[in-house]
Structure 1
Amino acid sequence: MDGLTLTAPGLTSAQVAGAKANHVPRRSSRSLSAILRANVFTLFNLVIGVLWALILIFGEWQDGAFGLVIVANALIGIIQEVRAKRTLDKLAVINEAPVRVRRDGVERQVSPRDVVLGDLILLGPGDRLLVDGEVIHAEGLEVDESLLTGEADPVHKQPGEQVLSGSFAVAGSGAFVATKVGTDAYAVRLAEEASRFHLAHSELRAGVANFIKYITWLVIPIGALLIYSQLRNSADLGTAITGAVAGIVTMIPEGLVLTTSIAFAVGVVRLGRRRCLVQELPAIEGLARVDVLCLDKTGTLTAAGMDLDQVLPAHPDGSAPAALPRPDGHPIDPALAAALAKPDGQPIDAALAALAHLDSRPNATAEAIRAAHPSADGWTAGATVPFSSARKWSGADFGEHGTWVLGAPDVLLQGGDCYDRAAELAATGTRVLVLCRATDPAALTDTASTLPAGPLLPVALVTFKQRIRPDARDTLRYFAQQNVNLKIISGDNTQAVSAIATGLGIPGGERAIDARTLPHDDPDKLGEILDSHTVFGRVTPRQKREFVTALQSRGHTVAMTGDGVNDVLALKDADLGIAMGAGSPATKAVAQVVLLDDKFATLPHVVGEGRRVLANIERVANLFLTKTFYAIVLSLLVGVAGVAFPFAPRHSTLTNALVIGIPAFFLALAPTLERAEPGFVPRVLRFAVPAGVLCALAVLLSFWAAHNGASSLLEDQTAAVITLFLTTWWVLVLTARPLNWWRAAMVAAMAVLFCVGLSLPFIREFFALEPGDPSNDLIAVGISVVAAFLISVSVKLAGTLRP
């Protein structure tokens, strides 16, 4: 792009200082004010605040201890999310690919936020367009606008044409002037019209939101019924208000949202320590559900970059090749082929160097050739066709030196000795390209991306050494152990991909399939083949997208990893897109997760963190919603019967802290390897509804049995509290299974703390406990044992009991 130096110097420093900057909110985290609002101004906080005020006015201050939940929830939620925000923002800055601009006649790199209106922005393959603009220079520039239009075919751009933010360059090079930046840019306006951010689907988030919505609607009528019954049947207004508040407060799963937020936030921080950027928080849930992982070979199984190995003349003995047909049917004239086939008559090194130096942003192959051939003196290109993953070749017309093409042998050749030699080399895992010369001097044009019209003569085979990642084998073994199916999909030669997959011990690697033979118009058939095979070569960018869709249609949760522009479409459509840190800006822009350190070995930690978050939140949801359902049932029965509520708010505060609050904090952050399965909401309901109903019936039965004796109301309530603790403690035991040493210690510690509370006078006095009637307490224990047995049976029959 040297021509830009004279004709387009770009903005001056003074112009930059006064121009509008490209300030766009990052999608990885919300603002501090939004975090404060989300954690303070909630419906639950409002309800609990009103109930707290009622207790302080009409009851005893000890019964208002539940009000501290508002403060604790808000503080913990704010601290954890701010902590996660700082981690995300720091990683997002690292992840932001610099933008190449020309200012004061000099090319420089600036932060995306420092791009200004009128900037002259330079483009190369893989560059993401962050602002709108007008093209002023193009050298074979092709832009993929599929993320905006849905059309997968790249668009050739010429000077004077418009380019839009949200697209990305896939081939060639060029430059454009920024005409719209910041929130005026096309992609930003689209995002704002749809939503603040595009978030990955979260069954967990949707499930929790539904729980809260339905519970809110239940609280209103049941709470009104409870208040009415308590006021009608109690001569003491304070006691009536206290009983009603006890039922309503217990119905609210105030810690469920908090615990979910903490689990997500801690997951983000933990992954951040491994230099893993989670660009969409719900993506953590996707990590847990993945059962198919699609891997692009280049940049994932193999490290970035490669080394030039050998340049092998196509006919080292000087013999003329046979008249080979081209893939498009054009024959090669034997006499012409003989004249061009002499090894000493072909400037192989110069042609390779000239082709490798065409692009100002070379790919890994071109960089490897450049390292061995740093210059190509005297070779000036006329018409050029840049390399793209869809074409799998590049070429140029060098005037008197001829027209040359470099690309995949199975794309440029069809049969013959040279083709067979290339296949033999590829079968060893070597990357092989063929250098060809066009026999038609006017074979190439800038506007056409098809192969030259005349015959192509193979001149040399070029081989490259690929660098297998040292951590690839162990990482692949981990996924096999975790029952995550692997699909290796690559644009490279099928034999080469198969050889690398087999060498890494991937099952089915020897049965690699050439993607060009796959059906394009039968998604069901394609899905069957994908399910039964593991390794695929010669996959086009559009096919990668079709692979993801076909796997999803068969009920799989698909994760896709990639690093090149050919992976962008598949990354976007996958349930979880994972980009490598060394990948193209476009790839990192559409992925939900970016491995900034470019370490394939980070993937097991990424998946493990997702599983930890989701499995533990489901455990915690079982606890909170069991509490909600026993409170709903108790409130309904008490409201209809018109009797006193069986416990006070302070009793609920004590039991909730010991069997839900404290354990939930530890359970939410515990390690686990369980893969999450769909059906979060039905599974939680199948556990919580029968458990909650049985807890409520047991508490009411204990209270009724004690109330019919000669004991005081405080003793009756103490018997009900004992039953409430024992039944919900058993729910905790079932939820915490399998019981390793620390889980067993935790549930035992909660039981010890409750016993201590019953034993120490000042704690008994604070929480209004009076275990003075042994018969009441023994009956309560007996009812609790029966209820615990029935709870175990019910959740076992529902299929939710953990082994």
Structure 2
Amino acid sequence: MSATNIPQAPVTGLSAAQVAERVSAGRTNEYRERTSRSVSQILRANVFTVFNAILGAALAVILVLGRWGDGLFGVVLLLNTATGTVAEIRAKRALDRLAVLETPRAVVLRDGVEREVAVGDVVLDDIVRLSAGQQVPADGEVITSDGLEIDESILTGESRPVRPERGARVMSGTTVTAGTGLFRASAVGGDAYAHRLAREARRYSLVVSELQAGTNRVLHWISWVIIPVAVVLVWSQLRLSGSIGQAWSTGEWRQAVVVGIAGVVSMVPQGLVLLTSVNFATASLALARRNVLVQELPAVEVLARVDTLCLDKTGTITTGRIRLGEIQGPDGGQALPEVLAALAVLTGTGESNATADAIVEGLKEPDRLGEQGLRGALGSVGECGSGRVESIPFSSRRKWSAIRDEACGITWVLGAPEIVLAAHGAPVLERARRIAAQGVRVVALARSCSPWTQASEGDEPRLPGDLEAAGIVVLTEEIRPDAAETLAYFRQQGVDAKVISGDSPETVTAVARQAGVTAADGGELVALDARTLPAGAGSGKETEEDLNRLADAVEGASVLGRVTPEQKRALVRALKSRGHVVAMTGDGVNDALALKDADLGIAMGNGAPATKAVARLVLLKGEFSALPGVVAQGRRVMANTERIASLFLAKTIYASLIAVVVAVTAITYPFLPRQFTVVSSLTIGIPAFVLALAPSSQRYREGFLRRVLSLCVPAGIMAGTVTLATYLWLTLTHAPRAQVTTATTLVLITCGLWLLTLTARPLTSWRLGLVVLMGSIAVLGVVSPPVRAFFELAWPSPGVWWVIALMAGLAIGGIELVHIVRRRIVRNRG
């Protein structure tokens, strides 16, 4: 909270009274950060659906009538809702367990005494002490800095630590990597920058699932016809009782209503909705075993559709750590052993920071000093033996550190090339600049026989005047070992990768090349400085024209540097406006807004809680290589759901056609409920369950609903027409009622099984076996007297068998013709 009418604290910190005043005013650092979706959001997403509305209304009528046995379809409703809800709540709990605040305590200066308090107890204007390894608990201004270095990549995306001096601003959520300092808290709690970003990212939104959107669209269409069909169907069944009044007086209206609801429920592809949820849940469990947490079940589908992958550099492609690269001598050759030893002493005996730690770790490698050589070097420099060693720690103001071994009279200096080599190292300085232009970090090592000078105690030391270049040290960012292979996989899948960072375009390009990122057209990487993007990008209020200009600017770029959090969000929106399906990876609070707006947000397990809360997928161990597994699961879900959708929606078509014809003509419904159950189970329910969980690597193609409808609509009409024709033919020829229903059931089963062969193609041995098994069970139902009696079927007469054979043949020929024509149309379009 900003300071308003509150006096600034003295350097001794706040008094107890001032702290109490701020606590009573609510100006504390207490902030409840959301770590995942709330239970109410999960329930709302899984309960309030079109599917649940239709079946829920039908179930309510059945229960009011007291026909509990006819409400079995309510089990599907409950299972579908429970499947999604339970899986997503499990993901929520897992994510909540991960959300542990990195630094639960802070050291504050109050009444001139340092005290340790909970982070939430820091108040406005508190003087807070920072030290290496701590997380900055609030926004504020630096009062003192002693070699203070802060990693701000979680907010800005820039991988290089900043070295704030007195008066510089620090932000909550960043991490101290070296040094110590004091800062005054000027914004606490919800007013801190990191929390403002998290609050903006909290707005609830659901992942866009093509499977669910297509199914919901069909349900929406069905909902328009269900009520009139139900009314007419009930009316027609009431007429069969003689009159509506007679049906009411005898109570037969109840049976008519039940028949009407049965017709309505048969029109709803309830099994499709349930199996889609089961498919998603199965994929979610499989991914959990690979340490991928799915927060919304449909997210497993989306990565299979992604065509643009936006990658945050720091923490996604890189580990966030620095590693020692090449060490060159002044002539560009290999550095001498004494240079390596000097580096070891300079970085291994002073105060720890990211650069020093990287150099020390790199020197441990066998082809450099090795572990034993490093230990020996820390006691001496060169071959002079041990002696009194003086040192000057690194300062961001000086941009250099130094050490002097009095035994051999040599001063070694390590620092920025433009400072250390300014006087006598022009050729080496030029080479250092060329190397730095490639996007890596460069520091220079120089030596002198003279000591540094200092006018008086407390003054800044000055470099010796006779410094000679001794070497160039190249530092690079550590690339995740799995990054190159994973990016190559996405490139093979036709996914365009874009690396986005707050670092300079040169640095980002260098990292992208190391990781194997290539341009979409296979040419040179195109890098873009986000500071040159069109005005308005990142304002949060971009117009359609702004997004068009932004999309024009970034579509051809593979690398974007100096990108702000707001620009990341605008980039995602611009790419989506061009029809791209965009996935965004990230780990910092600065990525949260972009992750929320992407079609699929992917967070690293070690990322900020706010970022993991808005992501659809969380890579628990931060393993980039887990993403191809997500694609594989998404493809399995997409391909198998498309197969079973054709079965269920074809049933919706022929059930609707039969219901409408029965309602209009006022004939008796052709099937008993148990007979229709047999048809559904053998041609849809059992095979659909097997097909839904089968492995599949079929590549995703856009147009799921169009392809499904192009098959199921004509096939469903064909099946419904042939079934009704069979029923009317045998009814008009006065065949026994039991034989009529038997023939009608067998013809419809034949239609369903042939449609199953189409959706199961290519017919591998197990798929063909599945079709044969379902057909065998149908034959058994007619051959076996006990089964035949239970389902009220009859052994057909020879004449009825001829009708069955003729109508089944017509159905098979018609459905196969539909498939051939459809396949040719698809081939001509593609």
Task: Give TM-score, length-normalised by structure 1.
Answer: 0.70
Superposition pairs of residues 539-618 of structure 1, within 5 angstroms: 540-541=563-564, 548=572, 551-563=575-587, 570-583=594-607, 587-618=611-642
Q: Does 1:368 align with 2:358?
A: yes
Identify the residue that residue 253 of structure 1 maps to in structure 2: 269
For 1:465 and 1:144, the matched residues in 2 are separated by 16
For 2:801 and 2:269, the matched residues in 1 are separated by 28
Q: CA RMSD in A?
A: 5.6
Cα–Cα, structure 1 residues 592 and 241, in superposed 2: closer, same or farther, change >3 Å? closer
Q: Does 1:464 align with 2:454?
A: no
Contact 2:303 2:630 in 1 (8 A): yes
Contact 2:140 2:187 in 1 (8 A): yes
For 2:258 and 2:141, the matched residues in 1 are separated by 75
Q: Does 1:479 align with 2:495?
A: no
Residue 293 (structure 1) aligned to one of 309, 323, 342:
309
Contact 2:155 2:589 in 1 (8 A): no
SS of 1:661's equivalent in the other structure is helix
Identify the residue that residue 263 of structure 1 maps to in structure 2: 279
For 1:665 and 1:774, the matched residues in 2 are separated by 36
Residue 728 (structure 1) aligned to one of 752, 775, 784:
752
Matched to 2:32, the amino acid is N
Superposition pairs of residues 69-218 of structure 1, within 5 angstroms: 69-75=73-79, 77-78=81-82, 81-94=85-98, 96=100, 98-102=102-106, 135=140, 178-179=188-189, 194=203, 197-218=204-225
Matched to 1:207, the amino acid is G
Cα–Cα, structure 1 residues 796 and 527, in superposed 2: closer, same or farther, change >3 Å? farther
When structure 1 is superposed on structure 2, of 228-237 and 519-528 the one drifting more is: 519-528
Q: Does 1:433 align with 2:442?
A: yes
When structure 1 is superposed on structure 2, of 465-474 and 81-90 the one drifting more is: 465-474
Matched to 2:525, the amino acid is A
Identify the residue that residue 459 of structure 2 maps to in structure 1: none
When structure 1 is superposed on structure 2, of 100-109 and 699-708 the one drifting more is: 100-109
Matched to 2:286, the amino acid is R
Matched to 1:431, the amino acid is V
Cα–Cα, structure 1 residues 585 and 223, in superposed 2: closer, same or farther, change >3 Å? closer
Contact 2:756 2:771 in 1 (8 A): yes
Cα–Cα, structure 1 residues 95 and 50, in superposed 2: closer, same or farther, change >3 Å? closer
Identify the residue that residue 68 of structure 1 maps to in structure 2: 72
- 1:223 Cα deviation from its structure 2 partner: 0.9
Contact 2:153 2:588 in 1 (8 A): no
Q: Does 1:778 align with 2:778?
A: no
The Cα offsets for residues 261-304 of structure 1, whole Å up to 9 and x where unpaired, read as 22222222221111112234443232121123344555444545
Contact 1:285 1:613 in 2 (8 A): yes
Identify the residue that residue 227 of structure 1 maps to in structure 2: 234
Superposition pairs of residues 275-286 of structure 1, within 5 angstroms: 275-286=291-302
For 2:750 and 2:808, the matched residues in 1 are separated by 6
Superposition pairs of residues 706-717 of structure 1, within 5 angstroms: 706-717=730-741
Superposition pairs of residues 642-791 of structure 1, within 5 angstroms: 642-791=666-815
Identify the residue that residue 515 of structure 1 maps to in structure 2: 528
When structure 1 is superposed on structure 2, of 239-248 and 749-758 the one drifting more is: 239-248
SS of 2:72's equivalent in the other structure is helix
- 1:632 Cα deviation from its structure 2 partner: 1.5
- 1:715 Cα deviation from its structure 2 partner: 1.6
- 1:527 Cα deviation from its structure 2 partner: 5.9
SS of 1:289's equivalent in the other structure is coil
Q: Does 1:501 align with 2:513?
A: yes
For 2:680 and 2:698, the matched residues in 1 are separated by 27
For 1:303 and 1:143, the matched residues in 2 are separated by 15
The Cα offsets for residues 684-705 of structure 1, whole Å up to 9 and x where unpaired, read as 3333322222121111001011
Q: Does 1:306 align with 2:303?
A: no
Contact 1:294 1:489 in 2 (8 A): yes
Matched to 1:249, the amino acid is V
The Cα offsets for residues 432-463 of structure 1, whole Å up to 9 and x where unpaired, read as 335699xxx9xxxxxxxxxxxxxxx9997431
Matched to 1:229, the amino acid is S
Cα–Cα, structure 1 residues 611 and 758, in superposed 2: closer, same or farther, change >3 Å? same
Cα–Cα, structure 1 residues 577 and 79, in superposed 2: closer, same or farther, change >3 Å? closer
SS of 1:682's equivalent in the other structure is helix
Matched to 2:528, the amino acid is A
SS of 2:698's equivalent in the other structure is coil
Aligned length: 702
Superposition pairs of residues 325-344 of structure 1, within 5 angstroms: none
- 1:221 Cα deviation from its structure 2 partner: 0.4
Cα–Cα, structure 1 residues 187 and 524, in superposed 2: closer, same or farther, change >3 Å? closer
SS of 1:768's equivalent in the other structure is coil
SS of 2:700's equivalent in the other structure is coil
For 1:21 and 1:599, the matched residues in 2 are separated by 30
Superposition pairs of residues 382-401 of structure 1, within 5 angstroms: none
Gaps of 5+ in 1: 58-63, 148-153, 318-342, 385-394, 442-456
Q: Highest CA radius of gyration, 1 or 2?
A: 2
When structure 1 is superposed on structure 2, of 696-705 and 208-217 the one drifting more is: 208-217
Cα–Cα, structure 1 residues 21 and 74, in superposed 2: closer, same or farther, change >3 Å? same
The Cα offsets for residues 588-630 of structure 1, whole Å up to 9 and x where unpaired, read as 4553322121222211101112222233333332222221121
For 1:778 and 1:158, the matched residues in 2 are separated by 97
Matched to 1:511, the amino acid is E
The Cα offsets for residues 214-272 of structure 1, whole Å up to 9 and x where unpaired, read as 31231110011111112213559487566544422311222233222222222222211
For 2:418 and 2:696, the matched residues in 1 are separated by 45
Identify the residue that residue 637 of structure 1 maps to in structure 2: 661
The Cα offsets for residues 531-563 of structure 1, whole Å up to 9 and x where unpaired, read as 6675x3756457766664554454332223344
Cα–Cα, structure 1 residues 372 and 68, in superposed 2: closer, same or farther, change >3 Å? same
Gaps of 5+ in 2: 1-8, 109-113, 157-161, 364-377, 379-388, 403-410, 447-453, 455-467, 535-545
For 1:208 and 1:350, the matched residues in 2 are separated by 67
Identify the residue that residue 454 of structure 1 maps to in structure 2: none
For 1:540 and 1:171, the matched residues in 2 are separated by 23
- 1:733 Cα deviation from its structure 2 partner: 2.2
Matched to 1:70, the amino acid is G
Task: Give TM-score, length-normalised by structure 2.
Answer: 0.68
For 1:243 and 1:461, the matched residues in 2 are separated by 86
For 1:142 and 1:283, the matched residues in 2 are separated by 32
The Cα offsets for residues 156-189 of structure 1, whole Å up to 9 and x where unpaired, read as 99999999xxx9659999657755699xx87787
Identify the residue that residue 32 of structure 2 maps to in structure 1: 22
SS of 2:602's equivalent in the other structure is strand
